[in-house]
Amino acid sequence: MNHLDIHLLTLISIIAVVGAFGGLLNYLHNFDTVENDQKNKYAKYRYIFLGIGAAILVPLFLKMISSNLIEDTPEYNNSNYLIFAGFCLITAIFSRRFINTLGEKILEAAKNAEKTSKDTKAQIESAQMELTTAQERIEDVRVAVNMNNVSTDVSEQESMSILLGLVNSFIEKTSIPDYAERLKLKAELGRRMGQIIATKFDLQKNELLNKHPKEGMYLALAYSVDLRPDSLGVSLLNKLAKVSSQHYTKYVILLAYRTLASSGWVNKHQAKEVSQLITKFRIQADKALLRNIDDTISVLKFIEPEI
């Protein structure tokens, strides 16, 4: 039998013997007993087992406080066994309180770990959104520059069929677990639909909105404004801002607002109205969307400083 086996067996023996002894002391002297608990042999055994159970939790407690009291090392001091036995005795005597307190600490730690995990995930997703949208923004500019070179060979009827097919399948196609891939797919579909609208149905945007009130169409129309800004863009985006529900659609709407503002298509009165509308985007917004709301309001303040 090697040194490690002896050390482990010693700790187990201390837990069992001292835990049982502490439970018995608790039973005899009512240190941590239930009020009006009947004293009989069943109660005695119950307190003994409760003491052993509490003593078993001592290594977990020591781990939680980062203590190396029971860590096996070549220079291990045998007096640590006495200290460990003292810990086990105290926890066995006050077994109920110790178990309840430790249980609460563990549950609290689990909740904190879950919260930290969620916060970390939110930060990663926010960073992914900013990276993805930055890359897609570059692609949007390229598409806008080349808009006049888009082939017009496809008939309006065929274009409408393609557009509605993409709109109707948008939610299904973008319902994938990977966040970065989901963002990329939304951007690709949104840009393609927006390009179709901007080149084929530029004068029918409000009609498309009224006839096809779906999230895919909202995103497509927002992209069409961003790709080909004009005097009617603000009015259309205002309508979209009131009905869009997905964060990414709101994100593209904000980009389109900034494109219109930088192109001179937003006046002072419209700037105030837009500011009021996008402020409502803050409800349940993630960090990336909040930053873009602030960026858009900053751009609008160049038009109307009193916002």
Q: What is the pLDDT of residues 256-296, one digit of tens each?
A: 999 999 999 999 999 999 999 999 999 999 888 999 999 99
Backbone angles phi, psi at 192, to 5 degrees: -65, -45
Angle between helices 79-93 and 41-56 (to 10 degrees): 130
pLDDT greater at residue 124 or residue 245 = 245
Name the least confident of 6-15, 17-26, 27-36, 179-188: 27-36
Cβ 33 vs Cβ 107: under 8 Å: no
DSSP string, 9-53: HHHHHHHHHHHHHHHHHHHHHTSS--TT---SHHHHHHHHHHHHH
Going from the C-alpha of 148 to that of each of 142, 202, 226, 228, the distances in angstroms are 12, 13, 15, 10
Each domain of the chain, given as residue ranges in start order, spans 3-93, 121-303
Please say whether the beta carbons of 31 and 7 come within 8 A: no
Q: What percent of the chain has pLDDT over 70?
A: 82
pLDDT of residue 174: 86
Q: What is the mean pLDDT of residues 120-148?
A: 54
Instruction: Dump the DSSP string for 167-210.
Output: HHTHHHHT--S-HHHHHHHHHHHHHHHHHHHHHH-TT-HHHHHH
Residue 172 main-chain phi, psi, to 5 deg: -65, -45
The predicted-structure confidence for 197-215, as pLDDT tens digits, reads as follows 988 776 689 999 999 999 9
Of 209, 302, 207, the residue nearest 257 (C-alpha):
302
Quote the pLDDT of residue 146: 46
**Count of other CB atoms within 10 angstroms of residue 289:** 20
